Amino acid sequence: MRAAVLYEANTPMQIEDVTLEGPKDDEVLVRVDATGACHSDYHVIDGTWNGPRYPLPVILGHEAAGTVEKVGADVRHVRPGDKVIISFSPNCGRCRPCVTGQPHLCNGFRSPPGTFWDGTKRHRKGSLELNAFGRGMSSFAELSCIHQSAAIKIDRDIPMTAAALIGCAVMTGVGAVLNTAKVEPGATVAVFATGGVGLSAVQGAALAGASKIIAVDVKDNKLEYAKQLGATHAINDADGEAVAEILELTDGEGVDYAFDAIGDSRVSRKCYDAVRRGGTAVIVGMAPTGQEISIPSTIPGEEKTVRGCFYGSTRPAVDFPRLVDFYLNGRLKLDQMVTKTYKLDEINEAFDAMGRGENARGLITPNA
């Protein structure tokens, strides 16, 4: 199959003919119909995520939807021809987080970085062994071989470009609001950075019935997207005054919830400063390798909560179909988030555009 291989950070991915071994008994082979260019891929490409956790060369890609091509002997819930959204976080179904309703924190697969869920590597370019991303998902390719728990069937008619977004950005952003923070109707919300995850958090806040949804970014075009998707206020933080402006919009108190949707220690700190006493700052974006977030020692008197959010605290089998329904009844806008689609050969253009902050979301269609 054809796949985009990243050999070195800050160099273009190369489109190569590679082999992929699978599916094993517990796995599903999926033809990738659409896959998103996400900041988590970009951080590996531009080297902000580096070191032993992100071994190269690698086939990236972790936000995708596709068509089941082949299933392993033990797979019952999907068959060839089924449409699926892929979860980048497979779960074992047996460990403590899995059986207590937190499958996104599954610790049943203790596989090293760069490997599939079972610890193997299955992609090869000639004799060269390639690393995988997303526990083997590696969707910047024509085919993706995944653990069966990661194949979430969609039995409704939805464009695969819209479905793909649910696999990462939309689940992460909407889930941060509905699952992780459990924002209640009438609450006030600020969302810092309105890329794919942030725009989804804005939509999640609208779904939750937030009274004020304040979008913060340094790019006016992204703030424009945010307003179209439900933000009630938009603040351009190019001058660094966003926290002061949020306090002004909330009678000097701060918002109930603030979301860091980019992953930067300074932005995380702004979220902390922007929430009211007793409020909650949710850190959704993952910062560059090695960064720490500073929290003031006044936290006891402020009784603020800082919490992390991985993958929107998702239970994929429950949440993905729910998001599909929200899309189908018009309450979740996904088509508007797709700014441009690219062929696999054009994949580097998608990330160049991301680097320039141009797209709400760029999507790659590897089999088009």
Chain contacts with Zn ion (rule: CB under 5 A): 38, 40, 91-92, 95, 98, 106, 108, 168
- Which residue, 95 or 247, is less far from Zn ion as judged by CB? 95
- Which residue, 86 or 242, is less far from Zn ion as judged by CB? 86
Residue in 39, 43, 104, 147 annotated catalytic: 43
Q: Is 168 a catalytic residue?
A: yes
- Which residue, 136 or 254, is less far from Zn ion as judged by CB? 136
Q: Is 40 a catalytic residue?
A: yes
Q: Is 200 a catalytic residue?
A: no
Whole-number Å distance between alpha carbons of 206 and 183: 10
Q: Which helix (H) or strand (E) holds 355?
A: helix 347-355
Residue in 39, 40, 98, 271 annotated catalytic: 40
Whole-number Å distance between alpha carbons of 105 and 96: 9
C-alpha neighbours within 13 Å on the C-beta side of residue 346? 15
Contact 86, 151 (CB under 8 A): yes
Tokens of 166: 């649910």
- Which residue, 43 or 269, is less far from Zn ion as judged by CB? 43
Q: Which helix (H) or strand (E) holds 318?
A: helix 316-328
Q: Is 98 a catalytic residue?
A: no
C-alpha neighbours within 13 Å on the C-beta side of residue 360? 24
As measured in angstroms, the least distance from the Cβ of 95 to Zn ion is: 3
As measured in angstroms, the least distance from the Cβ of 174 to Zn ion is: 13
Whole-number Å distance between alpha carbons of 114 and 50: 12
Residue type at 129 in one-letter notation = E
Tokens of 155: 């039995």
As measured in angstroms, the least distance from the Cβ of 90 to Zn ion is: 9
Beta bridge partners of 281: 258, 306
As measured in angstroms, the least distance from the Cβ of 71 to Zn ion is: 21
Q: Is 106 a catalytic residue?
A: no
Residue in 98, 106, 145, 168 annotated catalytic: 168
Angle between helical axes of 242-249 and 265-274 (0-180°, round to 10): 20
Place of tokens 């590696």: 138
In the DSSP assignment, the letter for residue 262 is S
- Which residue, 144 or 250, is less far from Zn ion as judged by CB? 144
As measured in angstroms, the least distance from the Cβ of 187 to Zn ion is: 26
- Which residue, 90 or 230, is less far from Zn ion as judged by CB? 90
Residue in 62, 104, 123, 147 annotated catalytic: 62
- Which residue, 59 or 242, is less far from Zn ion as judged by CB? 59
Residue type at 94 in one-letter notation = R
3-state secondary structure of 342: strand
Tokens of 73: 């002997």
As measured in angstroms, the least distance from the Cβ of 157 to Zn ion is: 25
Whole-number Å distance between alpha carbons of 136 and 367: 19
Whole-number Å distance between alpha carbons of 289 and 283: 15
As measured in angstroms, the least distance from the Cβ of 94 to Zn ion is: 6
Whole-number Å distance between alpha carbons of 38 and 308: 19
Residue type at 239 in one-letter notation = D
- Which residues does the annotation mark as catalytic? 38, 40, 43, 62, 168
